[in-house]
Amino acid sequence: MKKTMTLIYEGIKEVQIIQWFVEPEARVEQFDKLCEVQSDKAAAEEQITSRFDGVIKKLHYEAEDMAQVGKPLCDIDVMSEISPEDEATVLGPVPEQAGSPSTPMQPQKAVKKLSQKRGADEKTQDTSLPPSANKHSSLATPVVRGLLKELNVNIEDVRGTGKDGRVLKEDVHRFAAARSDTTSPSPTHQIAANSKTKSTSFQTEHTIPLTAIQSQMFKTMTRSLQIPHFVYADEIDITALSSLRRRLNNASPHSHHQGQSQKLTYLPFILKAVSLALYDFPLLNARVDTASPDKPQLIMRASHNIGIAMDTPQGLLVPNIKSVNNLSIAEIAAEISRLQSLALSARLPAQDLTGGTITVSNIGSIGGTYVSPVIVSNEVAILGIGKARAVPRFDDGGEVVRKEVVNFSWSADHRVVDGATMARCAERVRGWLEGVEGLLVQLR
């Protein structure tokens, strides 16, 4: 008698056949693996098992095919390869031999009886297999089976509350919650838990103290949260600056400072442009004094002590270059090199870490285009520099040309700095860098 295996899933229209474990004319028993499938609603594969004892007659799909839910998956002949003794058990005695009319046994019941008979005969050979607690466990959806794997739950241990006793997601969660409340897990669960190499159900945590630099950063940034930030971003054309920098680095008289070779980067030019702009916008070099909360005031500062955010093995450090307004670009470059060397060796003195008036963060040296920099509590402005990159642009004649650009992102203390002031200062810095000849003229 031929039986047809059909796919049964909740809320799924089709699954993909990953692989077959059987082929035509192969003998299978109930709960033997037939194939492995994958649906688009479950990350893990699921194995389909046989609901009958019999012989595989036809596979309706090939591996990698999409199988339609509710359609035949394979045909199983439940009467093939049955011995005469088993056939007598399946069909029952013939009426003439029995002595009285009798109703033939139903095929499904006969197969079940046959399976029980074989199970009894083989009991002495294999006693390690536990009996199935739920005959419909093989009908669980891929989502449920994925959850079972995630929570390390054996489906046969779960009491299903769905149609025909099927296991639902709620049943799995209920079982897992009850198991977690049990103080002494069974040996079977303990072995499974020990053998599972990866679990997403439970998170392990441990406490480590903050480093000295992290503790200081925590305090500084916590104070900065009280500052309302006004953020302003713009794109700077550094094509002319890039050309000038290459010429200076290639000219030996300009590439040495105090007997040491010193390659110029963009940063010394940017710091000098910021310093020149602060002459016209001294508010951005000031600090807010809130010693009297009812009567805050501004402290104006003459020296341009520009801080440079540095990524060091110890964490974020912001040393500052004192009196940038009185230094040449070569001298600024030498100071940057000195501070970087001290920071990398964890030898920065306190005098280099205090007294800053405005900060520049060159995060673009690592990557990124835009940034939203956070103002230090004793300052009112900060500049974040993105990564320099080459882009196509139209020139005045409408021709496409190669340009080098970088994005500047400013943050200002909106309690005392209005948006127009910040924008005008940013435009002044952009003007100095794009018209680098004018920047050089202003040097003292």
- Cite the active site residues: 414, 418
- Mapped onto helix, strand or coil, the DSSP state of residue 153 is coil
Checking DSSP bridges between strand 381-385 and strand 229-237, what pairing results, if any? unpaired
Q: Where does 326-433 show beta strands of DSSP type E? A: 358-361, 381-385, 389-394, 400-413
Distance CA(235)–CA(421), nearest Å, equals 18
Nearest to 224 by CA among 91, 373, 114: 373
Contacts of residue 129, Cβ cutoff 8 Å, sequence gap at least 6: none
Task: List the structure tokens of 365.
Answer: 């040296």
- Mapped onto helix, strand or coil, the DSSP state of residue 77 is strand
Q: Which amino acid is at 282?
A: P
Q: Where does 22-83 show beta strands of DSSP type E? A: 27-28, 33-38, 46-49, 54-59, 66-68, 72-77
Backbone angles phi, psi at 398, to 5 degrees: 85, 10
Distance CA(27)–CA(25), nearest Å, equals 6
> With DSSP H G I counted as helix, E B as strand and the rest as coil, what are the percentages for the chain, rounded to 5?
35, 20, 40
Q: Which amino acid is at 265?
A: T
Nearest to 283 by CA among 408, 425, 409, 410: 425
Distance CA(115)–CA(119), nearest Å, equals 6
Distance CA(48)–CA(214), nearest Å, equals 54
- Mapped onto helix, strand or coil, the DSSP state of residue 35 is strand
Burial 121-158 (b: 16+ CB within 10 A, else e): eeeeeeeeeeeeebebbbbbbbbbbbbbbbbbbebebb
Distance CA(85)–CA(89), nearest Å, equals 6
Angle at 41 (CA atoms; ends 35, 45), nearest 5 degrees? 30
